[in-house]
Structure 1
Amino acid sequence: MDNSIQETLLISSKTEQNGDLKGRIIEESKKIWRVAMPGIISRVSSFGTIVITQSFIGHISSLDLAGYALVQTLSVRFVNGILIGMSSATETLCGQAFGAKQYNMMGIYLQRSWFIDLITLTILLPVFIFATPIFKLLGEEEAIAKSAGYISLWFIPFIYGLVFSLTIQMYLQAQQKNMVIAWLSVFQFVIHILLSWLLVIVLKLGISGAMSALCVSTWFVVLGEFVYIFGGWCPETWKGFTIAAVKDLLPVVKLSISSGVMICLELWYYAILVLLAGYMKNAKVSISAFSICLNIIGWIIMMIIGIMGAACVRVANELGRGDAKAVKFSIKVLMSTSVSIGLFFWILCLVFGSKIGYLFTSEEEVVQSVSDLSLLLAFTVLLGSIFPVLSGVAVGAGLQTKVAVINLVCFYVIGLPIGAVLGYVTNLQVKGIWIGMTSGVATQTLALSFMTWRTNWDEEVSITSARLKKWYLESSDENKTSDQVF
């Protein structure tokens, strides 16, 4: 009798634990998707404008498609990598400040990021201004280099818009107010398609029409974000412009640089692979096919980066609150969610891989080259569902320096040499370069997984608490309260 009672109690206890676990997973998933869904919508829509532009240009001429591919995957990726990296410090600091209820600091961190990023971008402008001689120096064909040089000038207003849209998105998602960006991005996507059709197809303005549509739709989002912030929809975190934003910049610059190096090593890796493709026998076809595959991956990874944004916010918020157990539980739910999405797109790439190229070009050679890469593309997509989320965990915890070292070794010591050898020595051409790329991504994924597993999250809570106390500045409201008390 006693045994049966004990068994009943044990079964009841396990049922309660399972029910509690199920409830915790559902609750954590709600928190994740509250940040991730708007992030996915906005990133897919924003990246979609770049892909739509590529599609319109691809149907203008194959030469301009190759020129656009060079600029977008080399120049823009080079500069954008620095900006995203520098901006990810905002993601770390705003997320941790929100978790610690230091709301007034979030607006200050946002302004600091604008100041640092605008100076950085202005220094990097020669990359766009002198694109033609740069690409010639790198050994690209003269016709492609000239086309790329003209297109790169059109990317200058686009990239300045990114400074604001990137940082504001990180600022808003840290306080779970990024749904407005999702709506703005959807409108941007629709406006971009209509403008591209009007300027390229109807008015036949060619490259200038396609690039004008891209610039206008990008700044539509930026102006909408300004209206939202300055219009009073962030009363706790935006107290107006302040001189405090240009004080104590050095610690933020250091974190921004480590963040920049982390992201740049990853983004430049793909850019260098495109550059290698430019030295193949049929450079125009190789660059176009490689760029199309990278854009397919990019579009899917934009969805995963939505989960990455949620990872940054959830980890940073819980570290700010001082709850190490919640951090570890959130990471498990995040990874399960992301891998499920990756498996879905892995299957799609396997099934429709031979037809994807027609979305971007009617050139049969390019379509066939994309088809040849479809199997490798599918497995790269699967890996791409894992490493961005682990990078997001690192950003949320402020571990960018460690990830930078991992990226350096995995991509440049392992991935690039393998790709170069297989592409040129064994004559596998673009497929060999892609195998090298996948090798680098696979080793990076394993290394990030090991780093996350070995991290002492209780220690990270202490580090976060010390950082927030050191950088905290009282708001004017708090100063007034102090004056009233004394």
Structure 2
Amino acid sequence: MDEHTPLLYPSPESPAEDTNAQCTGVSGVYHRIGLRLVGSLIVDSIPVTLSYILQNSTQTVSILVTGRLGPEELSAAAFSMMLAFVTGWCIALGGGSALDTLGSQSFTGGNRPTDLSIHFQRCVILLWLLFIPVAILWAFIEPVLLAIGEPARLCKDVQAIMRILIFGAPGYIAFESLKKYLQCQGIMRASTIVLILVSPINLVLNIFFVHYTPLGMLGCPVALSITYWLCFILLILVTLLSPTHKANATWGGLQLQAAMNLKSCFGFLKLALPGILMVGTEWAAFEIVALAAGKLGELSLAAQSVIMTTDQIIATIPFSFGVVASTRVGNLLGARSAIGARNAAHASALTSVLVGSAIMTAMLAARNDFGYMFSDDEDVVRLVSQVMPLLASFQIADGLANACGGTLRGQGRQHLGAIFNIIAYYVLALPIGITLAFSTRMHLGLKGLWIGKSICFGSVRRLTHMILGQVIGLFTVGTAEYIVVWLGTNWDKEVEKSVVRNAEEAKRRTLLEQHE
């Protein structure tokens, strides 16, 4: 399968769909799915996974290169990248989820092929506008950090880095939006190609600006800003050269007046803001766990760094399944194929279980020696081996959560994911994790924090079960989430919503053209 292969399985015009419609129940759905659909999801997820790994590595490289200057520079760079993720990049990734809905549905069901390009332009402009208050925060972040008790030197250095990074943020947002625009068309490899080309350039830029110019530590954000804009520019070139993009004919030129239609912008923000909240709350909770680990001592902090680095890399795999699921479901809803959309949703869940099981097995098998990849300290390796089973235990649940989240984004139900994250992380996971870590009666240390992290993929009803048995409990919760998507989705109604969205957009565009 490649980017010229039809994205929709099964095709809305497929005669087999009528026959398959007679099958009912879970077994009937999986009988219809078949290995071809599962295999196509895995194939599509590979370039997406590589893309996000490479994208995350650009910041990791900046931290490592800057860290060679000394521990204070390392702390400032790492803290700045954490803030960038939680407050800035979540706008690009979360806000871009509106394009998962509107763009993917308009690609197959829009009045004109160029409707997708209008959604893309609207996405870039609105996300840039949403970044403005974040840019102001970054420019004056020092007093905020001082207020929460961070060291004065760190606060000053972080503010200096963030002020420079402001210039790179629009490039990051535009790159993410263009990536989504291409993914809506089933073009998954373009961003991977760009990042493969840019990654060594990013390394060279960081080494040059940090170690061979007077900028020193501030060379890190300069290099990153150049990298983000370079990614966007190169992705434009790759898009223009893409035969699939040319065949789709989705680009209709700059149409800013259509893109900034007030009603259309309001509809976009109704999806984008919950998407930002969904991503931001999850990442913020993750960083709170990291900060809390620092209070447990140097040994726990070292082991936590190993676990977090591992989790960040592995998390790109289930996240990629969510991206592919949102595109598939959105495309099929736009094509008015309720059965096809349902099959794609359940195939994504099935694939996530299979891949999550493989990852969990590998992590459990390697837990005793895994820590040696990062440290020669026996105590760190031993602590990593103790915490690793907890990290492994929620891989299946993580995959299911991402697959179901992708389905919800494809449907336009981002608000459900946001509500779930707020309850799971801030009502359940963090209070329980911190209590288990710091309670005098139940002092589980780093294990306690990661028990809390595991609970993030649970529901209120399953709380006690998850505490009693992480692996069994998390598998049950992941299954329960899947059942909720199964029982709580009227696929015919979702198709109707897609038709209405596309019709309203076409009507606004027609009125605008008549007015001109």
- For the criterion TM > 0.5, the same-fold answer is yes
The 3 A distance-change label for structure 1 pair 297 and 400 is same
Q: Structure 2: any 5+ residue segments left out of the alignment?
A: 1-22, 460-476
Residues of 1 paired with 2:151 and 2:388: CA distance? 27
Question: Which has the larger displacement, 450-459 or 189-198?
Answer: 189-198
2:109 partner letter = A
Letter in 1 for 2:287: A
Tell me the secondary structure at the aligned position of residue 38 of structure 1.
helix
Q: Distance in 2 between matches of 1:210 and 1:299?
A: 22
- How far has the Cα of 1:371 moved from its partner? 5.0
What is the aligned partner in structure 2 of residue 296 from structure 1? 310
Matched, 1:237 2:270: no
Distance 2:68 2:359 in 1: 26
The match for 2:344 is 330
Contact 1:196 1:213 in 2 (8 A): yes
What is the deviation of 1:469? 1.2
The total of aligned residue pairs comes to 461
Say yes or no: does 1:73 pair with 2:82: yes
Q: Report how far residue 316 of structure 1 moved.
A: 0.5
State the distance in 2 between where 1:352 and 1:198 align. Answer: 37
Deviation at 1:89, TM superposition (A): 0.2
CA distance in 2, matches of 1:271, 1:95: 32
User: CA 1:321–1:64 in 2, change beyond 3 Å: closer, same or farther?
Assistant: same
Are residues 1:88 and 2:97 paired? yes
* 1:44 aligns with one of 32, 44, 53: 53
Aligned residue number for residue 3 of structure 2:
none
Query: Secondary structure of the equivalent of 2:199?
Result: helix
Q: In structure 2, what residue type is equivalent to 1:43?
A: Y
Would the alpha carbon gap of residues 295 and 212 (structure 1) be closer, same or farther in structure 2, given more than 3 Å must change?
farther
Q: Specify the alignment match of 2:165 in structure 1.
A: 155
1: CA distance, partners of 2:296 / 2:332: 52
For residues 382 and 64 of structure 2, what CA distance do their matches in structure 1 show?
17
SS at match of 1:125: helix
Show the counterpart of 2:7.
Answer: none
Contact 1:319 1:461 in 2 (8 A): yes
Contact 1:319 1:327 (8 Å CA) reproduced: yes
Aligned counterpart, 1:483: none
Shift of 1:167: 0.9
Looking at structure 2, the residues matched to 362 and 195 of structure 1 have their Cα atoms a distance apart, in angstroms, of 31
Where does residue 466 of structure 1 map in the other structure? 500
Instruction: Indicate the SS of the match to 1:238.
Output: coil
Residue 325 of structure 2 corresponds to residue 311 of structure 1: yes
Alignment correspondent of 1:257: 273
Cα separation, 1, equivalents of 2:400 and 2:158: 33
Task: Map residues 354-433 of structure 1 onto 2, 5 A cutoff.
Answer: 370=384, 372-425=386-439, 426-433=442-449
* Cα 1:43–1:287 shift into 2, 3 Å: same
Task: Give the AA of the match of 1:252.
Answer: F
Is the Cα contact below 8 Å between 1:63 and 1:144 reproduced in 2? Answer: yes
| 2:9 paired residue number | none
Contact map agreement 1:47 1:302 (CA 8 A) in 2: no
Counterpart for residue 28 of structure 1: 37
Q: Deviations over 1:72-110 (max 9, x none)?
A: 334422322233221110111111111215421100001
Query: In the alignment, residue 112 of structure 1 is paired with which amino acid?
Result: R
CA distance in 2, matches of 1:466, 1:367: 56
* Mean Cα deviation higher: 67-76 or 408-417: 67-76
- More displaced 10-residue stretch of structure 1: 166-175 or 440-449: 440-449
Residue 251 of structure 1 and its aligned partner are, at CA, apart by 1.5
Residue deviations 1:371-408, cap 9 Å, x none?
55323222244432221111111100111112222222
Q: 246-255 or 23-32, which moves further after superposition?
A: 23-32
Q: 8 Å contact 1:354–1:368 — kept in the other structure?
A: yes
> 1:144 offset after TM fit, Å?
4.2
SS of structure 2 residue aligned to 1:177: coil
Q: Hey, what's the Cα distance between the residues in 1 that align with 2:386 and 2:204?
A: 33
Report the 3-state secondary structure (helix = DSSP H, G, I; strand = E; otherwise coil) of the residue aligned with 1:441.
Answer: coil
Which position in structure 2 is the counterpart of 1:223?
233
Q: Distance in 2 between matches of 1:285 and 1:57?
A: 23
Q: Relative to 1, partners in 2 of residues 1:148 and 1:163: Cα closer, same or farther, differing over 3 Å?
A: same
Equivalences for residues 115-264 of structure 1 within 5 A: 115-196=125-206, 207-229=217-239, 234-235=245-246, 236-242=249-255, 243-247=257-261, 248=263, 249-264=265-280
Distance 2:149 2:443 in 1: 20
The 10-residue stretch of structure 1 (70-79 or 397-406) with the greater mean CA deviation from structure 2: 70-79
Deviation for aligned residue 1:223: 0.8
- Contact (CA 8 Å) 2:80, 2:158: kept in 1 or not? yes
- The residue identity in structure 2 corresponding to 1:402 is L
Equivalent residues of 1:355, 1:367 under 8 A apart:
yes
The alpha-carbon deviation at position 414 of structure 1 amounts to: 1.0
Partner of 2:473: none
Asked if 1:277 is matched to 2:320, the reply is no
TM-score, with structure 2 as normaliser: 0.79
Give yes or no for contact 1:59–1:362 (8 Å, CA) kept in 2.
no
Aligned to 2:283: 267
* 1:239-286 Cα deviation digits (max 9, x unpaired): 1111101113112122222222222222222133234335x153x765
1:187 aligned partner, one-letter code: L
Higher helix share: 1
| TM-score between both structures, scaled by the size of structure 1 | 0.83
C-alpha separation in 2, matches of 1:367 and 1:204: 39
Secondary structure at the aligned position of 1:386 is classed as helix
Does residue 321 (structure 1) correspond to residue 348 (structure 2)? The answer is no
Q: 2:486 corresponds to which residue?
A: 453
Q: Secondary structure at the match of 2:87?
A: helix
- d(CA) in 2 for partners of 1:206, 1:433: 36
Comparing 50-59 with 96-105, greater Cα deviation is found at 50-59
